[in-house]
Chains A and B, each alone.
Chain A
Amino acid sequence: MAIDVTEDVDHTTGTPGDVLADIDGRRALRGLGGVLVFLLVWTGASLTQPSYVLPTPFAVAETSYAQAASGELFVALGNSVLHWVPGAVFGTGLGIAAGIALAWSPYLDDVSSPVVRVLRPVPPLALVGFAIAWFGINHAGAAFIIAVGAFWINFYATYGGVEGVSEDLLDVARSLGVQGDLDLIRTVVVPASLPEITTGIRTGIGRCWMLVVASEIFGVPGIGRRILRASNNLQVDVVITYILVLSLMFLLVDVAFRALQRRALAWR
């Protein structure tokens, strides 16, 4: 049998998983320029103001070093991580599971739709009372606040992804021996909606870092607590130090997750 496979094959495959492949020199240079301008404007502005309104970048650098050297910074970070991790994990997991279940089953969707609509707009911070009553002033209570935030982002991202799964792919899978909802979900629904699911996870874990501050408002120790306490004492340099720690953590986790996401979605 003479089969000729000389049709146009698209060879534009990149190198998935390579984060550095993204960074192009000119963009990086412009970014660096932007940072310099920002620091200059900041310095200029801070020279005209007392330090409790706006400290200089140098003062912040000094404070950051002192906080790190004394170990206080790492203790706060460690405390925050202790509720950030369980909050993100539970919120993400439950959000994805609920998103799949409701998007897959019209019955479950009908049953839960009114409740979902009522609960959806509730800001996590409004649930502080429940966090204290149900879990106490501890890591579990803070994790609860964080989990609520992660839940909705993952729920809606997953729901949208699952809703968009092609009926035709499901038909093909059935004709190839896949039987039952759970097997269809495992073999087709989850892999087909993985782009949306992973985008939800990524957005969610970012949101969890923002919620760290809110989750510590009722007295659980961590970065947020430090920011709130320093704010009360007008220690703006300390506030900025811990804001930078949050940003850095957000950035690190985001870059790491993005690398994972690219690997998982290499087929796209």
Chain B
Amino acid sequence: MAMNDVTPDEEEAGVPRVRIDGVGKRYEGSNGPVQALEGVSVDVSAGEFVCIVGPSGCGKTTLFRIIAGLESATTGSVSLDGDRVDAPSTDLGLVFQEYHLFPWRTVAGNVGFGLEQTGVAAAERERRVRKLLDLVGLDGFADTYPRDLSGGMKQRVALARALAVDPGLLLMDEPFGAVDAQTKKMLQDELLDIWTETGKTILFVTHDVEEAVKLADRVVVMGKDPGHVRETVEVAVERPRSRSDEAFGATYERVLGLIEG
């Protein structure tokens, strides 16, 4: 298991892969200013799998967009390997709930998109796309258009596309929120396999407590009004994790209690 798979360099420097430092976000709403986030601080080590959970309206998605560089924080900052994030870049692989695939490109075209932009030669690109499709279990679908894919398959393409440019952080916003329960479970298992295989650092936003406890090394629980970090819960449950596990149940209850509390 690739838990805390920190390279010696980064460990010596003591810089976490991701540092979310006192992030606050204030909007000008129609009824005056709205404080969406306040003082959110989270560190994520290289290779770590961290889930952010919270009730709807706690600013999870706003936080996601700030970490991704799609929106700027009013206060505080986000840095990746010590560099401040202020715009989207290939250092951050984004996976959204609604997939956002390029409908005019085939599966291979979607996965290879980032490689084309970063100037990877065609032959090398093809090799890497094939490898990624294999990784997400979509070999044989290279020439299929997104319209002919199920939700679960679309999300696999989105994941492969994000992984293609080898980002330092994989940032996922409720990626399995739009698929049925069975597909969701399958995709979760696959994601854990891919995480193990690639050693990626993953920051995963969800409202599903069970999903968070199943996947994460640590669960960051957020509260609302304004969005803030309530507590961070270590998930000390052996993998592969089972719902019927006593430790799983206890962690689940604890996180749920924090959200409802």
Contacts and interface: CB of A to CB of B under 8 A. Distances in A.
B35 interface: no
A187 to B, nearest CB: 7
A24 interface: no
Interface string B87-110: 111101110101010111110000
A254 to B, nearest CB: 23
B117 A177 contact: yes
Given A9-B148, A169-B102, A175 B89 contact: yes
A192 B101 CA distance: 11
Contact of B148 (A10, A183, A191): A10
Contact of A175 (B68, B147, B190): B68
Given A1-B190, A7-B153, A11-B148, A177 B102 contact: no
Interface string B182-215: 0100100010010001000000000000000000
Given A168-B98, A172-B100, A267-B104, A177 B147 contact: no
A8 B150 CA distance: 6
Nearest to B197: A1
A188 interface: yes
A135 to B, nearest CB: 38
B94 A175 contact: yes
Given A176-B117, A178-B117, A191 B147 contact: no
B104 A194 contact: yes
Interface residues of B, number: 44
Nearest to A7: B150
A176 B104 contact: no
B223 interface: no
Given A1-B193, A171-B88, A191-B102, A7 B183 contact: yes
A267 B105 contact: yes
Contacts of A12: 148
**Chain B binding surface, main DSSP class:** loop
B76 interface: no
Interface-centre pick from B98, B117, B136, B183 (highest chain A CB count, 10 A) = B117
A54 B150 CA distance: 60
B89 to A, nearest CB: 7
A177 B87 contact: no
B117 A267 contact: no
Contact of A191 (B96, B104, B183): B104
Contact of B90 (A4, A166, A177): A177
Contacts of B93: 175
Nearest to A3: B137
Given A1-B137, A3-B190, A166 B113 contact: no
A176 B153 contact: no
A263 interface: no
A168 B100 contact: yes
Nearest to A172: B100
Contact of B150 (A1, A9, A174, A176): A9
Contacts of A188: 102
B34 interface: no
Contacts of B145: 266-267
B153 A9 contact: yes
Interface in A1-25: 1, 3-5, 7-13
Interface string B175-187: 0000000010010
Interface string A156-197: 000000000010110111111110000100011001101000
B221 interface: no
Contacts of B102: 169, 172, 188, 191-192
B208 to A, nearest CB: 20
Contact of A176 (B141, B161, B197): B161
Interface string B60-95: 000000001110000000000000000111101110
Contacts of A173: 113, 117
B23 interface: no
A10 B146 CA distance: 10
27 contacts: A1-B137, A3-B136, A3-B137, A4-B186, A5-B137, A5-B141, A7-B150, A7-B151, A7-B152, A8-B150, A9-B149, A166-B100, A168-B96, A171-B88, A172-B94, A172-B161, A173-B113, A176-B90, A176-B113, A176-B117, A177-B114, A177-B117, A177-B165, A191-B105, A192-B103, A266-B145, A267-B147
- Listed from nearest, the 8 A-B pairs whose CB atoms lie closest are A3-B137, A176-B114, A177-B117, A7-B150, A174-B88, A175-B88, A191-B104, A267-B145
Given A7-B153, A175-B90, A191-B105, 6 more contacts: A174-B89, A175-B68, A176-B164, A191-B104, A267-B145, A267-B146
